[in-house]
Structure 1
Amino acid sequence: MRIGIYAFDDVTMFHLSVPQLVFDEVAHQGLGTWETFLFSDGQHTIRTSEGYRVGDLAGLDEARKADAVVMPSWFFDGRPASEAVRTTLTTAHEAGATIVGLCLGAIPVVDAGLLAGRAAVTHWQAFDLLAQRHPELDLDDSVLYIDHGDVLTSAGTASGLDACLHLVRSRLAARPRPTRWRAAW
């Protein structure tokens, strides 16, 4: 399974590292041939919010051929996804890829129209923004992640870890229950 993870200027290393660590562990443990790669929209090098430079990024064309596309976060200002990013997500989805929006990464997934009329979750700070921009969206603030089988979204940053582990569990033939997971507290 090839998994593309979107990288952009000012993304945090935590957001980039969570899906990479979880999905790469599948290969490290000999459980499957999973491979992650970072991609961006035109930039071959990005600078993280911590000041690290990350280079040798694949382009959007490579992401369109992935088995899963992960939007690990998004810009803090909640800007709408560009046409190129939306097209990448819809093209990958139409080709059968699972689309994952972790934390604020739900914003471009919703902007791409992949959750129209369905439930989604995102970071609490983006709920009002998404509700205004997409009134047809059923936002659920009581769950850590929601998996529709083809599109998965998660709440805050740490919830992204739960969502990634859920994806691994469901892809490695474990029964994917529950699809909406609530914390026990």
Structure 2
Amino acid sequence: MSLGAQIAWDDTVLPFQLDASDIRGRVARLDGTLEKVLSQHDYPAAIEALVAETALLAALIGPTIKLRWKLSLQIRGDGPARIVAADYYAPETEGEPGRIRAWASFDPERLDPDGDAFAQIGKGYFAILIDQGEGTTPTRASRPSPEAPSPPAPRPTSPSPSRSPPASPFPSAARASRATAGSGGAPAA
């Protein structure tokens, strides 16, 4: 199968540069990964959109950081969407794809099925946690929404570094590679 055919059908993150205008960026396609993540849950459309957008954001940011283990993105709010999270796991060895998972917790009784997905979060914060693995202290950054209280420290959303992360392949942005599936679900207890 040609690279063009793989890109057309597979989960991929590709860097690009437009030389004439000095524009650089990344483009992502996560069909298989998002299908697997979202099919494991019965999320309403608004929550599904938030999970998909958070997973895409993790997929776009994760490969740009020299990670040895994990990047976590967490959105917490006081609205019906209590938490939306995604974890990007760096490839364990050169040439392997990274892995990604995403999930959400929400209050179905408070959810507005016709409302804007982002509005379902309410007031809260966005947090980024970079965990380089065993023997390191995770780096944390958070940004509260206007008039929101200071956020607590993000909680880990996955197994400890001594345990293996979920096996959900995701291609590294450093090269176009083929991914087979993704994994989603609630965090390990």
Same fold, judged at TM 0.5 (above): no
Look at both structures and tell me which one has the larger radius of gyration over its CA atoms.
2
User: Higher helix fraction: Structure 1 or Structure 2?
Assistant: 1
User: Higher strand fraction: Structure 1 or Structure 2?
Assistant: 2
Higher relative contact order (CA 8 A, sep 6+): 2
